[in-house]
Structure formats: C-alpha cells, structure tokens
C-alpha cells in the first residue's frame, strides 16, 4: 500500500537535513526549538515511523531494554509470558528491542550475571523484575553504572531508590481481607511466600490492618511461611487442618498456592466454598478455571510491564520519574462465600 516514509521524506518536508531529523527523533538537545517543532509536525503529517532495523544497525547504541527476570521452569510461566508480552508491546512502540535476561535468584554470581550485559554495553536500560527489584545491593550497583533503571513490582523498601511500577500490595491485602470480613469471616489463615518475597509480606500486612480495624487481633490470622507454589499451598492447607485450628477463610499470597490449598481442601472432603473460603492474589490466567473459580486480586501484569518500559524511555531521556503504584482490583468469583456458622 502506501510506501513507507523515511527520515529523508521528513527532512524534505521540514526543510532541514536528515541529521537534524535524526537528532530530534533521538531527543538530542542540540536542536533549535523551531527546528524541533518543524520536524515533529512533519513527522506527524507523514505518519513517520522510524525503521527499527536501520536504527539498530547505524546507532552505536544497542536500542534495547533488558528485562531481568528470575529463571523459572520451562516453558516460561504465565507470569513471565505476561511480563514479556506487555514489555514487547511497549518496546515496539518505542522502536526498542527487548532482551530477556534470565538469572538464577539464588546463584552466588547473580550480581555478575546481571551486571555483565550492562558493562558490555548490550542495553540502554534495564527493568528489574521481582525479586531482583527488592535487592538494594544490585540496585545500587546498577546506579553506579549510570544505566537507566526501572523497578518492577518491588517491595516498599526499595521503592524510593529508583523509578518503577508496582502494585500497592498492602492495599491489595487490605482489600481482600476487608471483603472477607464483610462476608462475615472472623477466623483466618494466611499462606505466605518465602520470607524474601516482600510483596507477599505486604499483602499480609494489609490484611492484618483490615482485621485490626475490625477489632480483631493478630491471632485471628496466623501466617504460614513457605513458598508461592501449588505444592506449598497444598502442604500449608494440610498443616492448618492438622493443627486443629479451624479458620473459615484461607488467604493465599498468590493464585498457585491457592490452587494447591483448594486441592488439599477437596482431599479433606470439604465442599467449596460452602465449607471453606480460599482466595488468591494475581488473577492468573488459570484462576477462573479452578474449582471453584478463584476469587482473587488482579495485578494487570502485562500493563505494568508496558508501563515500566514507557517510564524507562522517559528515564533514558533523563526525565525524572517517581515510583508509580497501581491500585489493586478485587475479582470476585466463586471461591469466597460467607462462613457457614
């Protein structure tokens, strides 16, 4: 159809050289305000889209953003898939490439693994996903290198350290517990993540705040430490039942562990949600496929990742950005019901 416009077309229409067009497109400050204006309007008029391939070839810079993510099982989990798809979408719009960098969170060489591509000049900026975004040491190391940095889904402790996006986990926990309190629940259990998983801990804090405002003390919601997966949720639920304590609602720190808890509950012969309320966090793609379909809190992970890239390009252009927080959204499905008694 319509032939693709090049930088040359824009230059002609704007009455400047191609170099000048390139400069304004790359936010180079050495351009007069007037020329910048002319180029911008010309580009807009021609619906000009820079050819990403050519930029990569010509530029000294890699024009790529590095997404650092913990190594996980193969094939990649839904979480990473959503992260990537959101980031990819935003990268496409900005003419950037996405380089996925998987690193083992527990490796002794994790810092080196993250720093190496940066020192090697392979990227223009990095977005650090959890749990790396919770580590002040690697954040500091990255900042010493003056590489634009975005924190994704970090815990409160590191949010002041760099630009980023994350959910308000405390509010999420508060919202979930408030909902369950409204349903009439008074005896809870909370299935936590590993202790270095800060957002799980914040969800717990938020839930406790809700209970405390309702006049309940901490003993109304014991927390069980462990991990954020199916097996752990399964195990945690069995431990609760074995303890003799009988909550009417079990809040799990993510949807995978909630799935495990649901399975354990079925094994105990419980009829859900009549005999027990079980909830998750994240609104994973499978949440609506569980039995019963899971009541949870939506994270909009792909949107967050896209936002992270948007913020990163601002940071690359040296515009200041605060840490952004997105509001949790309760997704009511069938796994939460009023307590039986």
Question: Which residues in this chain contact a copy of itself in the complex, by CB under 8 A?
Answer: 1, 51, 53-54, 56-57, 75-78, 81-82, 85, 120, 230, 256, 259-260, 262-263, 266, 269, 271-272, 285-286, 288-293, 302
The interface region with DNA, picked from 5-13, 127-135, 154-162, 264-272 by CB under 7 A, is 5-13
Residue 23 beta carbon to a copy of itself: minimum distance, rounded to whole angstroms:
21
81 touches, from DNA, a copy of itself, none (C-beta below 5 to 8 Å by class): a copy of itself
Binding to DNA by residue 22, rule CB under 7 A? yes
Near DNA in 29-58, by CB under 7 A = 29-32, 34-35, 48, 50-51, 54-55, 57-58
CA 333 centroid distance within chain: 23
- Number of Cβ within a 10 Å radius of residue 228: 23
35: tokens are 């020329």
104 touches, from a copy of itself, DNA, none (C-beta below 5 to 8 Å by class): none
* Three-state secondary-structure class, residue 244: coil
4 touches, from DNA, a copy of itself, none (C-beta below 5 to 8 Å by class): DNA
Listed in order, strand segments (DSSP E) in 175-257 are 188-191, 223-224, 249-252
Q: How far apart are CA 106 and CA 291, in angstroms?
A: 34
Residue 177 beta carbon to a copy of itself: minimum distance, rounded to whole angstroms:
24
107: tokens are 């490796």
298 touches, from a copy of itself, DNA, none (C-beta below 5 to 8 Å by class): none
Q: How far apart are CA 295 and CA 258, in angstroms?
A: 10
195: tokens are 């202790």
Question: Looking at 25, 40, 183, 334, which residue binds DNA (CB under 7 A)?
Answer: 25
Residue 126 beta carbon to DNA: minimum distance, rounded to whole angstroms:
18
Q: DSSP characters for 12-69?
A: HHHTS-HHHHHHHHTT-S-S-HHHHHHHHHHHHHHT----HHHHHHH-SS--EEEEEE
Q: Under the rule (CB under 7 A), what is the footprint of DNA?
A: 4, 6-8, 16-23, 25-26, 29-32, 34-35, 48, 50-51, 54-55, 57-61
């Amino acid at each position: 159809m319509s032939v693709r416009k090049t930088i040359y077309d824009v230059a002609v229409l704007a009455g400047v050289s191609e170099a000048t067009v390139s400069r304004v497109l790359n936010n180079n400050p050495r351009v007069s305000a007037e020329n910048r204006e002319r180029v911008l309007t010309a580009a807009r008029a021609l619906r000009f889209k820079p050819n990403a391939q050519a930029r990569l070839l010509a530029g000294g810079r890699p024009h790529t953003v590095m997404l650092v993510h913990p190594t996980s099982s193969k094939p990649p989990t839904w979480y990473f898939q959503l992260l990537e798809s959101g980031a990819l979408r935003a990268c496409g719009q900005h003419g950037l490439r996405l380089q996925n960098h998987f690193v083992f969170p527990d490796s002794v060489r994790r810092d080196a693994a993250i720093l190496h591509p940066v020192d090697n000049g392979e990227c223009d900026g990095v977005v650090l996903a959890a749990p790396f975004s919770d580590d002040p040491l690697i954040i500091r190391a990255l900042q010493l290198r003056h590489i634009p940095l975005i924190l994704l889904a970090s815990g409160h402790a590191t949010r002041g350290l760099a630009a980023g996006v994350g959910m308000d986990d405390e509010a999420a926990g508060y919202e979930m517990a408030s909902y369950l309190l409204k349903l009439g629940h008074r005896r809870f259990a909370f299935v936590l993540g590993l202790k270095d998983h800060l957002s799980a801990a914040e969800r717990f804090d938020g839930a406790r705040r809700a209970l405390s405002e309702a006049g309940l003390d901490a003993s109304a919601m014991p927390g069980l430490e462990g991990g954020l997966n199916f097996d752990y949720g399964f195990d945690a639920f069995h431990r609760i039942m074995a303890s003799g304590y009988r909550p009417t609602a079990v809040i799990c720190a993510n949807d995978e562990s909630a799935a495990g808890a649901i399975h354990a509950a079925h094994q105990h012969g419980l009829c859900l949600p009549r005999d027990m309320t079980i909830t998750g966090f994240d609104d994973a793609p499978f949440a609506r496929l569980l039995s019963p379909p899971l009541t949870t809190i939506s994270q909009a992970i792909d949107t967050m990742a896209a936002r992270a890239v948007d913020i990163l390009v601002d940071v690359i252009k040296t515009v200041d950005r605060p840490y952004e927080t997105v509001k949790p959204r309760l997704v009511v499905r069938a796994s939460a019901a009023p307590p039986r008694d």
